[in-house]
């Protein structure tokens, strides 16, 4: 994946590297609930189990998500209606 040119899967219309890539690849902390939700959606689309588990509340976190198992889910899009 060319992270410098692709659009972010979260639907923000920004480039991945300028959007969720900051959280998935560079270790920045998502500052709002909406950004966390978008970054987790992106992680699901990219199969990034490491990020999903790292951002999951410890008492409910599963040991594994098995995202690499077949058949793989196809994520169609994310639309945020509103957030507070």
Q: Cα–Cα distance between 24 and 64 in angstroms, integer?
A: 18
DSSP for residue 50:
H
Rounded to the nearest 5°, which phi and psi values hold at 7? Answer: -80, 145
Residues of the chain with pLDDT under 50: none
Residues facing 15 on adjacent strands: 7
What pLDDT score does 69 carry?
A: 73
* Top CATH class, 1-57: alpha beta
**Per-residue pLDDT at 4:** 67
Q: Domain ranges in the chain? A: 1-57
For the whole model, what pTM was predicted?
0.85
Residue 3, pLDDT score: 66
């Amino acid at each position: 994946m060319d992270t410098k040119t692709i659009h972010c899967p979260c639907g923000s219309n920004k480039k991945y590297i300028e959007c969720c890539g900051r959280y998935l690849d560079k270790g920045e902390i998502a500052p709002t609930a909406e950004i966390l939700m978008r970054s987790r959606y992106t992680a699901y689309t990219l199969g990034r189990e490491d990020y999903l588990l790292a951002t999951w509340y410890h008492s409910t976190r599963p040991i594994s998500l098995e995202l690499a198992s077949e058949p793989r889910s196809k994520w169609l899009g994310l639309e945020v209606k509103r957030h507070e």
